[in-house]
């Protein structure tokens, strides 16, 4: 896994990136946001990135890292790591990373390119307001009596409908489901602003 230790300067964010070699040695080199952008342009998604301006790619690059504190890593300093791009489709980039070595530490994030700007969609569900989240829980509970909670392990599905709404697909767990299963309840809803869902679009299905 690549390790990115970043330091801020007046001009741009600089970083030290350490990459494991075949001999398990560490090679360190300073890396700027511009260099991260150049790496994205040469990645497996180079054709997709070629469609966008340098400004957009730089914004994406600024979202490509996450921090682990020295308490979490038992190392001398906080460190930033590079996220992995798992897909790039319909102007939505899917990112993946782990904050520890177990499934419970898996994180997902989606970025949408829209009107020459970048929108952080998070994992979709987390963008609901607290009141909307509670309302959604109540709706699920009314249909699945032993519903427990929304799974945090799955990569939620986010797509754009023909009318421009976001379609969010998530999974929920019953009190009989193990966390590692990801849940046996499929939930989907549409939202215009990510903060509130449209009740008439809510679908809840129990799967085996």
Residues 87 and 131 in one domain: no
**Residue 88 and residue 161 in one domain:** no
Residue 73 domain boundaries:
3-122
List, in order, residues 6 or more apart from 40 with CB less than 8 Å away.
46, 49, 57, 60, 61, 64, 85
Q: Which long-range contacts (CB under 8 A, 24 or more apart) does 16-23 make?
A: 17/82
What DSSP state is assigned to residue 63?
T
* Contact predicate 190/201, CB 8 Å: yes
Domain final residue pick, 75, 102, 122 = 122
Same domain, 27 and 61: yes
The residue whose two tokens read 């991260």 is 36
User: How many domains in the chain?
Assistant: 2
The answer to whether the beta carbons of residues 97 and 166 sit under 8 Å apart is no
pTM of the model: 0.78
What is the rounded distance in angstroms from the CA atom of residue 188 to the CA atom of residue 13?
38
Q: How far is CA 38 from the centre of its chain?
A: 21
| pLDDT tens-digit profile, the chain (208 residues) | 443 433 344 334 433 333 332 223 233 344 689 988 998 999 999 999 999 999 999 999 999 988 777 776 667 777 777 899 999 999 999 999 887 766 568 889 999 999 889 999 999 999 999 999 999 999 999 999 999 999 988 899 999 999 999 999 999 999 999 888 889 999 999 999 999 999 999 999 999 7
pLDDT at 171: 96
> Are the C-beta atoms of 111 and 118 separated by less than 8 Å?
yes
Residues 101 and 18 in one domain: yes
C-alpha 61/C-alpha 37 separation (Å) is: 6
Q: What is the pLDDT of residue 101?
A: 62
Picking from 89, 106, 122, the residue at the C-terminal end of a domain is 122
Decide: 204 and 140 in contact? Cβ < 8 Å. Answer: yes
Q: Output the pLDDT for position 196.
A: 98
| Collapsed DSSP state (helix, strand, coil) of residue 149 | strand
Q: What is the pLDDT of residue 189?
A: 98
> Of the residues 93, 122, 151, which one is the last residue of a structural domain?
122
Q: Say whether both 136 and 108 belong to one domain.
A: no
102 and 144 co-located in one domain: no
Count of all residues that appear for the chain in the document = 208
Sheet with 117-122: strands ordered across: 84-89, 92-98, 106-114, 117-122
d(CA 90, CA 113): 9
pLDDT for 8: 40
Residue 120 and residue 97: Cα distance in Å, rounded?
Answer: 16
What's the pLDDT at 183? 93
């Amino acid at each position: 896994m690549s390790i990115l230790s970043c330091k801020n300067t007046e001009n741009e964010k600089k970083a030290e990136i350490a990459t494991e070699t075949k001999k398990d040695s560490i090679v360190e080199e300073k890396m700027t946001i511009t260099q991260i952008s150049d790496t994205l342009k040469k990645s497996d998604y180079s054709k997709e990135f070629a469609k966008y301006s340098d400004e957009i790619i730089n914004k994406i690059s600024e979202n490509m890292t996450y921090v682990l504190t020295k308490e979490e890593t038992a190392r001398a300093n906080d460190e930033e790591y590079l996220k992995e791009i798992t897909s790039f489709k319909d102007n939505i980039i899917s990112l993946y990373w782990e904050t520890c070595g177990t499934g419970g530490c898996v994180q997902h994030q989606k970025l949408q390119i829209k009107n020459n700007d970048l929108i952080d969609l998070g994992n979709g569900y987390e963008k609901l307001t607290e009141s909307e989240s509670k309302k959604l829980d109540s709706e699920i509970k009314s249909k699945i009596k032993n519903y427990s909670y929304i799974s945090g392990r799955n990569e939620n599905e986010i797509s754009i409908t023909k009318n421009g709404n976001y379609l969010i697909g998530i999974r929920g767990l019953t009190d009989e489901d193990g966390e590692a299963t990801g849940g046996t309840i499929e939930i989907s809803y549409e939202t215009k602003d990510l903060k509130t869902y449209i009740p008439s679009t809510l679908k809840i299905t129990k799967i085996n």
